[in-house]
Structure 1
Amino acid sequence: MATSLVGRKVLSNKVMYVDGFLAVIRKIWQTREEVEIDQVTGNVFTFHFQNIEDKRRVISGGLWSFNNALIVFEEPEGKGDIQDMKFNIAEFWVQIHNASLICMSEEIERFLGSIVGVVVDFDGGEYGSYVTKFLPVRVLLEIDKPLRRCLTVDVMGDGVGSLMLVKYE
């Protein structure tokens, strides 16, 4: 199971053209070795990779979509019962805009990202410089919950909240 993934096309009620989906996925992933893809139900598929490196590259490649619908992956655990999988977590890069200069540090970037979701990664800018237009943070989000569009944070501890906008990539 170490080389397996289960994927589900979500956020869409459209009927999927399975052959087209399989052809597109195989082409855009460009794995070194063949990926065996099986349809489990209407929009749930299993992906069996020949090697762990191909699987890691696909996972780290970011969000995947087909016909403007997000594809969410889960790694099988335990017995790998697909009916127990929720398909409700996805990684996104978020941009936190309008952050004041006092917020331009690794510690604050991580804190602000943790308000949005579970922080996976962040980009401190070129050479560790945090003076940027926005703070980019990669977070795990529960996609079945509403997205935050802004953060109000009392950055100075004086009771005055600063409004920061959140944009999703």
Structure 2
Amino acid sequence: MEFILKEKFLTKRALNIDVVAKTFKPNWRNKNGFKVKKECDHVVLFTFDDRNEMEKIIATEPWSFDKHLKVLQNYDKEKDLANMKFNRATFWVQVHDIPIRFRTQKVAKEICGAIRAVNEAPTDAEVEGDGFIRV
């Protein structure tokens, strides 16, 4: 079974698909590798044979290439590629100056909820920083 990420590179520069593949291979460190196919202008399909490896990449957004954001989505072959929109990206936000007793996911979600939806972080240990919480 194949699992596909459709990614749009938000840059005006021409994409070299070989450079794209060489850049993300060491960054993603997935065991089974991936296939890369240029679909259209600045849109690339990454195909994986392991769903967990693909989901790990999605969970560690945002990703960039050549200092430009790339927006990614799960792709189902039943969908029309032309109708897919790339209008959302996930970002980590640091919330500073919170008293220690309030540095919890619950409080951070309430603060950041005004921005947009807040994704669940894996563990509290991974979101705590030096005087801030990461959401």
- TM-score normalised according to structure 1 size: 0.65
Residue of structure 1 equivalent to 2:120: 121
Q: CA RMSD in A?
A: 2.7
Q: Go from structure 1 to structure 2 and tell me whether the alpha carbon gap of 1:6 and 1:17 turns closer, same or farther (over 3 Å shift).
A: same
Alpha-carbon deviation of 1:108?
Answer: 2.6
Residue of structure 1 equivalent to 2:90: 91
Alpha-carbon deviation of 1:42?
Answer: 2.1
CA distance in 1, matches of 2:123, 2:57: 24
Q: Go from structure 1 to structure 2 and tell me whether the alpha carbon gap of 1:115 and 1:24 turns closer, same or farther (over 3 Å shift).
A: same
CA distance in 2, matches of 1:122, 1:26: 25
CA distance in 1, matches of 2:103, 2:83: 41
CA distance in 2, matches of 1:47, 1:106: 32
Alpha-carbon deviation of 1:104?
Answer: 4.2
Does residue 1:61 correspond to 2:60, yes or no?
A: yes
Alpha-carbon deviation of 1:41?
Answer: 0.8
Alpha-carbon deviation of 1:28?
Answer: 2.3
CA distance in 1, matches of 2:49, 2:77: 20
Superposition pairs of residues 16-35 of structure 1, within 5 angstroms: 16-35=15-34
* CA displacement, residues 90-146 of structure 1 (integer Å, 9 cap, x when unaligned): 2211012234678545433211111122110258855xxx8x622321xxxxxxxxx
The runs of 5 or more residues in structure 2 that have no matched partner are none
CA distance in 2, matches of 1:23, 1:32: 15
The runs of 5 or more residues in structure 1 that have no matched partner are 138-169
Q: Go from structure 1 to structure 2 and tell me whether the alpha carbon gap of 1:42 and 1:124 turns closer, same or farther (over 3 Å shift).
A: closer
Residue of structure 2 equivalent to 1:75: 74
Does residue 1:7 correspond to 2:12, yes or no?
A: no
CA distance in 1, matches of 2:37, 2:73: 15
CA contact (8 A) 1:8 1:71 kept: yes
Q: Go from structure 1 to structure 2 and tell me whether the alpha carbon gap of 1:63 and 1:106 turns closer, same or farther (over 3 Å shift).
A: closer
Give the secondary structure class of the aligned counterpart of 2:89: strand
CA distance in 2, matches of 1:105, 1:61: 20
Give the secondary structure class of the aligned counterpart of 1:107: helix
Superposition pairs of residues 121-160 of structure 1, within 5 angstroms: 121-122=120-121, 133-137=131-135
- TM-score normalised according to structure 2 size: 0.79
Q: Go from structure 1 to structure 2 and tell me whether the alpha carbon gap of 1:34 and 1:135 turns closer, same or farther (over 3 Å shift).
A: closer
Q: Which protein has the bigger strand share?
A: 1
Q: Which of the two has higher C-alpha Rg?
A: 1
CA distance in 2, matches of 1:27, 1:102: 39
Alpha-carbon deviation of 1:78?
Answer: 7.4
